[in-house]
Amino acid sequence: MATMTVAKAINEGLRATLNNNAKSLLMGEDIGALGGVYRVTDGLLKDFGPDRVVDSPLAESGIVGTAIGLALRGYRPVCEIQFDGFVFPAFNQITTQLAKMHFRSSGKLTVPVVIRIPYGGGIGSIEHHSESPEALFAHTAGLRIITPSNAHDAYWMIQQAVECTDPVIFFEPKRRYWLKGEVDTENPGPASDPFKAHVLREGSDATIVAYGPLVPVALAAAAAAAEDGHSIEVIDLRSISPIDFDTVEASVRKTGRLIVAHEAPTFGGIGGEIAARISERAFLHLEAPVIRVGGFHMPYPVAKVEEDYLPDIDKILEALDRSLAY
């Protein structure tokens, strides 16, 4: 067991990957000497050299496009997109090429590319640096999307992403990069399957589903609700595509109430998908409509008002009150 930040855990996970898999390599803007703008790749260029840790030209489509070519040649590239809002120049390569290569080749080609994207707000940054575009990718078949919320998961999930034969988008909750946690580098324990949701807190009155940066917020909301006598179950979704509906459904069958929280706008988002699926699977077990807590239908606002935009403990408690009042 070691205590480390989420950023360090990803760094150590990447180091383990580079050590264990000779075909793996990292590529992205400023990931070499600088170690990435969040220092997630710090020290890796020095230890693995420029053939394995590739500082790329400043071109996102080029990064993902060349990663696809490297994967076709048998490599396992891990691309870093510097910020969430800068992934869109690569959107074409990700959705029309990466996601479809296995499908259009009838399974003859695989493209095990991992795309790391720091996402989400709450760091007081400027435009295009605080977005949560996961639903845009989740809508595309052929991609897998996972997001850790803590250091232990981060350490294991990045390695599992590289081992996966399918392309994986690895969303990193950037405002939790500095969150410290215990990491067991010997044994993944319950983190052995990156596509399974985790029940982090058991409860009987309602379920909160969250992922990535909002997991600590959901846990804090559950703790606050407990003070008012409510027993709240908290699920860390971990995987956004596929979604572990079995775990969510089992929880809802027990609690009868479901809140889904994410930073991304609620309209057309992951919360809506979960609400619809759970309505289909457990309609007669629901005591209240599934309630979503998320961003407004607006571009991510300026930093000085982001606290009004972002889901927080109070917004989740307000949703819980509405659910429990049914």
Partner 1 sequence: MGSTQLPTPRINGAGQQFLEGTESGDPATGMVQLLGPDGTLGTDPVFSDYAKRLEPEQLRGFYADMAKIRRFDQEATALQRQGELALWVPLTGQEAAQIGSGRASQPQDYIFPTYREHGVALTRNVDLSELLKLFRGISNGGWDPTENNFHLYTLVLAAQMPHAVGYAMGIQRDQKLAEAAGSNDPKAAVLAYFGDGASSEGDVHESMVFAASYSAPVVFFCQNNHWAISVPTEVQTKVPLFNRAKGYGFPGVRVDGNDVIAVHAVTEWALEHAREGRGPVLIEAHTYRLGAHTTADDPTKYRGSDEETEWRGKDPLDRLEKYLRAEGLADDSFFDQVKLDGDELAAYVRRTALSLQAPDIHDAFAGVYAEPHPLVAEEQAWFRTYEAGFESEEEAGH
Catalytic residues: 129
Does the protein bind partner 1 through residue 229 (CB under 8 A)? no
Does the protein bind partner 1 through residue 243 (CB under 8 A)? yes
Does the protein bind partner 1 through residue 227 (CB under 8 A)? no
**Least distance from partner 1 to the Cβ atom of residue 167, Å:** 9
Which residue carries 């048998």 as its tokens? 74
Stretch binding partner 1 (CB under 8 A), from 161-169, 172-180, 262-270, 306-314? 161-169
**Least distance from partner 1 to the Cβ atom of residue 265, Å:** 22
Cβ-based nearer residue to partner 1, 94 or 316: 94
Does the protein bind partner 1 through residue 104 (CB under 8 A)? yes
Does the protein bind partner 1 through residue 15 (CB under 8 A)? no
Does the protein bind partner 1 through residue 103 (CB under 8 A)? yes
Does the protein bind partner 1 through residue 13 (CB under 8 A)? no
- Nearest-CA neighbor of 170 among 144, 196, 206, 138? 144
* CA dist 53 → 9, 47, 105, 265 (Å): 18, 9, 29, 35
Number of residues that bind partner 1 (CB under 8 A): 48
**Least distance from partner 1 to the Cβ atom of residue 194, Å:** 11
Does the protein bind partner 1 through residue 251 (CB under 8 A)? no
Which of 4, 7, 26, 71 touches partner 1 by CB under 8 A?
A: 71
Which of 1, 106, 229, 283 touches partner 1 by CB under 8 A?
A: 106
Does the protein bind partner 1 through residue 97 (CB under 8 A)? yes
Which of 102, 116, 176, 292 touches partner 1 by CB under 8 A?
A: 102
SS (H, E, C) the chain: CEEEEHHHHHHHHHHHHHHHCCCEEEEECCCCCCCCCCCCCCCHHHHHCCCCEEECCCCHHHHHHHHHHHHHCCCEEEEECCCHHHCHHHHHHHHHHHCCHHHHCCCCCCCCCEEEEEECCCCCCCCCCCCCCHHHHHCCCCCEEECCCCHHHHHHHHHHHHHCCCCEEEEEEHHHCCCEEEECCCCCHHHHCCCCCEEEECCCCEEEEECHHHHHHHHHHHHHHHHCCCCEEEEECCEEECCCHHHHHHHHHHHCCEEEEEEEECCCCHHHHHHHHHHHHHHHHCCCCCEEEEECCCCCCCHHHHHHHCCCHHHHHHHHHHHHCC
Q: How far apart are CA 182 and CA 185, in angstroms?
A: 9
**Least distance from partner 1 to the Cβ atom of residue 195, Å:** 8
Stretch binding partner 1 (CB under 8 A), from 66-74, 170-178, 221-229, 305-313? 66-74
Which residue carries 């989400």 as its tokens? 120
**Least distance from partner 1 to the Cβ atom of residue 106, Å:** 6
Does the protein bind partner 1 through residue 283 (CB under 8 A)? no
Stretch binding partner 1 (CB under 8 A), from 31-39, 108-116, 252-260, 262-270? 108-116
Cβ-based nearer residue to partner 1, 65 or 256: 65
Does the protein bind partner 1 through residue 238 (CB under 8 A)? no
Q: Which residues bind partner 1 (CB under 8 A)?
A: 25, 51, 56-57, 59, 61-62, 64-75, 77, 89, 92-93, 96-97, 100, 102-110, 141-142, 144, 164-166, 195, 241-246
